[in-house]
């Protein structure tokens, strides 16, 4: 497993960041936050979120009356995302997923190879 972690760390160009304790209640498993722009940046706040294998967030909606939504760019590892009512989509480095405002969705990391289903 250490070699997988080392490979992931080498791919994760933005770094791991700090444990995502403030939002842990919205996640199943451990995630980490590394802000890429200041939190009050207008018009866009960008953050690198790293998910440990098998970690995902709960179904959620980014509400907005203008603009809004969420863009996911997979930079390392692999994951899943899903819009309510649609099939899950596999994410690999370089994948981009767009979630319009007011659309229920989730996203997270795939389990580590060899993990139980």
pLDDT given for residue 114 in this prediction:
57
Picking from 108, 109, 73, 111, the residue whose alpha carbon sits closest to that of residue 93 is 73
- Which residue ranges form the domains of the chain, and what is each CATH number? 2-109 (2.60.120.10)
Farthest CA pair distance, the chain: 45
Give me the tens of pLDDT residue by residue for the chain, a chain 117 residues long: 345 777 877 888 888 899 999 999 999 999 999 999 888 766 778 899 999 999 999 999 999 888 888 999 999 999 999 999 999 999 999 999 999 999 999 999 999 765 554
Q: What is the value of pTM for the model shown?
A: 0.82
Rounded CA separation 32/19 (Å)? 4
Rounded CA separation 1/102 (Å)? 38
């Amino acid at each position: 497993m250490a070699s997988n972690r080392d490979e992931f760390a080498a791919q994760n160009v933005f770094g791991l960041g700090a444990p995502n304790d403030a939002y842990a209640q919205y996640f199943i498993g451990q995630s980490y936050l590394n802000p890429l722009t200041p939190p009050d940046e207008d018009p866009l706040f960008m953050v690198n979120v790293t998910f440990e294998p098998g970690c995902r967030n709960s179904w959620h909606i980014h509400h907005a009356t203008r603009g809004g939504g969420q863009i996911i760019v997979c930079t390392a590892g692999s994951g899943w995302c899903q819009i309510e009512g649609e099939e899950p989509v596999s994410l690999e480095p370089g994948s981009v997923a767009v979630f319009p405002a007011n659309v229920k969705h989730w996203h997270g990391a795939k389990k580590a190879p060899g993990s139980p289903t």
